[in-house]
Amino acid sequence: MKTDPFWWDAARPEPTGTVLPDGVSDVLIIGGGYTGLSAALTLAKKGQKVTVLDAEMPGYGASGRNGGMIGNLLKPGLSGLINSYGAEKGCAIYKEALASVDFIAERINEEGIDCDLALTGRFYPAVLEKHYRRMSHDFEVRQKYLDIPEEMVGANDYGEDVDSAGYKGGLRQHHTGGLHPAKYVTGLTNAAMRAGAQIIAPLRAEEVTKKPTGFAVRTARGELAARALLIATNGYGGGLLPYIQKRVFPVGSTMIATEELSENLVASLFPTKRMITDTRKMLSYYRPSPDGRRVLLGARPTIFPATPEVQARSLKKALDQIFPALRSTAVSHVWSGNVAYDFAAMPTIGEHEGIFYAMGYCGSGVAMSGYFGHKAALKILGDPDGETAFDGLPLEDRFYYNGRPWFLPVAMMGYRVRDYFGF
Ligand SMILES: Cc1cc2nc3c(=O)[nH]c(=O)nc-3n(C[C@H](O)[C@H](O)[C@H](O)COP(=O)(O)OP(=O)(O)OC[C@H]3O[C@@H](n4cnc5c(N)ncnc54)[C@H](O)[C@@H]3O)c2cc1C
């Protein structure tokens, strides 16, 4: 069993070199995932001298490890957004999350990125009747305020989405889909470099210091100077900036891929190749591989750290429950990565003491991160198009959190209990 992402078989992240730029960069970006690379592409196309640093390789973080499921999932849902911010702002935020899907599809198209993009849709199967009722309520709210191509389907009507018994129906969305995440990150890396961005990896930013004319970033190979700085480290930022560390925390997610299966079997499990995310608190997300030869599933397999073998066993058990036909199938890959949350469970974009940041996609960043990277780039340039409905949302800290998310196992145990007893 391989412990690198399945995606890396086709597109392994590569070092890009460690030659430092001459002189001062207009913008230095820390983090070479979708956020940082998308920002670099926008800035380089606008003639800026851009440098991207990644401590490992572009795509080494979540961008090369995710499920490739494109969505516009904002944790609070439209109802939650309206409750918190009112109908106008709530709808504006939700519309931007929808627009992020169109944005990355256009960018992939424009840049000719070959990443198996397929807008086949997504299905959210309801595990309990109660989940179905809650989803129906949210669906009605969305129908009232926004025009979204989606529908509720009953317990006997989801056969075209997934061949798995026992769901209580669910929500079918038509405007989302999937891609190959590592091919996408490789394509973005190449597009940014083609446009003139310099990507330096592996090279870790060790310390950031404010200077009268910009910033100095210390690395093992010397100091880099830049007029503007963007932090795009999401769940991998560690202690680089205490302001971010106290407000954005990493959460692990693990995925497995099955060995190669017959195309007919995979097609029978996913007749329309939709991406699937269930409604548990500790949710599972699963999909066919882009070539239709494997099944991939992700979740948080264990509350405390565990070996890849233990994690794979736990996820395989979940997969067998969903698809009993896969009981005798072997797992070929297991891998993990970090997503990032803030305390509002909302993506966050902004500026603190002159340093720009974009992150906190709460496990749904394939579309939002590329979109936020672009918006952050425009903000750095002072372009009014950099405005977003997410501007000004509070990025809060908590007195009980100083950079070590000790509360996650407690929260997860609570979620497990709620999932088990169905409340
Ligand atoms: C297992 C898994 C499954 C997921 N599935 C989905 C999905 O199906 N759909 C979806 O929408 N989202 C999914 N996500 C979330 C999605 O992948 C992320 O939201 C998105 O990739 C975030 O991109 P990013 O560029 O902000 O961060 P990342 O891709 O994590 O990049 C951050 C980069 O910063 C670098 N870095 C950190 N510190 C430093 C430093 N000091 N100096 C230099 N470099 C540094 C890291 O090396 C890393 O490469 C998943 C995530 C995981 C882990």
The 10s digit of each residue's pLDDT in 176-193 is 999 999 999 999 999 999
| CA 351 distance to own-chain centroid | 21
pLDDT digits (tens, 9 = 90+) for 47-100: 999 999 999 999 999 999 999 999 877 999 999 999 999 999 999 999 999 999
CA dihedral defined by 11, 15, 17, 22, rounded to 10 degrees? 80
Closest CA to 99 of 72, 74, 121: 72
β-pairing, 50-53 vs 198-200, is parallel
Q: What is the pLDDT of residue 419?
A: 67
Q: Is the pLDDT of residue 407 over 80?
A: no
Choice from 366, 368, 371, 372 to test ligand 1 binding pocket (greatest atom count within 8 A of CB): 366
Ligand 1 centroid vs 49 CA: distance in angstroms?
Answer: 24
Residue ranges of E strands in 312-383? 331-342, 348-352, 355-359
Rounded CA gap, 15 and 57, in Å?
A: 5
DSSP string, 104-138: HHHHHHHTT--S--B---EEEE-SSHHHHHHHHHH
Ligand 1 centroid vs 356 CA: distance in angstroms?
Answer: 17
Q: What is the pLDDT of residue 133?
A: 95
Homologous superfamily of the 6-413 domain (CATH): FAD/NAD(P)-binding domain (3.50.50.60)
Q: What is the pLDDT of residue 32?
A: 98
Ligand 1 centroid vs 340 CA: distance in angstroms?
Answer: 8
Cis peptide before 250 (omega within 30 of 0): no
CB 12 within 8 A of CB 216: no
Ligand 1 centroid vs 377 CA: distance in angstroms?
Answer: 18
Q: And the tokens for 222?
A: 């010397």
For 350, list phi and psi in degrees, rounded to 5: 170, -155
Rounded CA gap, 31 and 37, in Å?
A: 8
Q: What is the arithmetic mean of pLDDT over 347-372?
A: 97
| CA 211 distance to own-chain centroid | 33
pLDDT digits (tens, 9 = 90+) for 327-345: 999 999 999 999 999 999 9
Ligand 1 centroid vs 58 CA: distance in angstroms?
Answer: 10
Q: What is the arithmetic mean of pLDDT over 210-221?
A: 96
Q: What percent of the chain has pLDDT over 90?
A: 89
Q: Is the pLDDT of residue 149 over 80?
A: yes
Rounded CA gap, 115 and 184, in Å?
A: 5
> Ligand 1: which residue has its CA nearest to atom 3?
66
Q: Which residue has the tokens 């060995």?
A: 259
pTM (2 d.p.)? 0.96
112 φ/ψ sector (left φ>0, alpha ψ -120 to 50, else beta)? left
- Buried b vs exposed e over 224-241: b needs ≥16 C-beta within 10 Å? bbbbbbbbbbbbbbeebb
CB 215 within 8 A of CB 208: yes
Q: Is the pLDDT of residue 196 over 90?
A: yes
pLDDT digits (tens, 9 = 90+) for 251-273: 999 999 999 999 999 999 999 99
Q: Is the pLDDT of residue 402 over 90?
A: no
Q: Is the pLDDT of residue 130 over 80?
A: yes
Residue ranges of E strands in 281-352? 285-288, 295-299, 331-342, 348-352
Residues 6+ apart with CB under 8 A from 271: 159, 160, 161, 163
Give the pLDDT band of residue 21 (cuts 50, 70, 90).
very high
pLDDT digits (tens, 9 = 90+) for 373-396: 999 999 999 999 999 999 999 999
Rounded CA gap, 240 and 256, in Å?
A: 31
Average pLDDT score over the chain: 95
Q: Is the pLDDT of residue 408 over 80?
A: no
CB 284 within 8 A of CB 320: no
Give the pLDDT band of residue 411 (cuts 50, 70, 90).
confident
Domains of the chain, by residue range, sit at 6-413
Q: Is the pLDDT of residue 280 over 90?
A: no
Ligand 1 centroid vs 176 CA: distance in angstroms?
Answer: 20
Rounded CA gap, 355 and 158, in Å?
A: 47
One-letter identity of residue 132: Y
Alpha carbon separation from 357 to 121, 146, 237 (Å, rounded): 30, 29, 11
Alpha carbon separation from 285 to 319, 339, 420 (Å, rounded): 10, 14, 18
Q: What is the pLDDT of residue 260?
A: 98
Q: What is the pLDDT of residue 73?
A: 78
Residues lining ligand 1, Cβ inside 6 A: 30-36, 53-56, 60-63, 65-69, 71, 204-205, 232-237, 240, 253, 255, 285, 298, 337-339, 359, 361, 363-366, 369
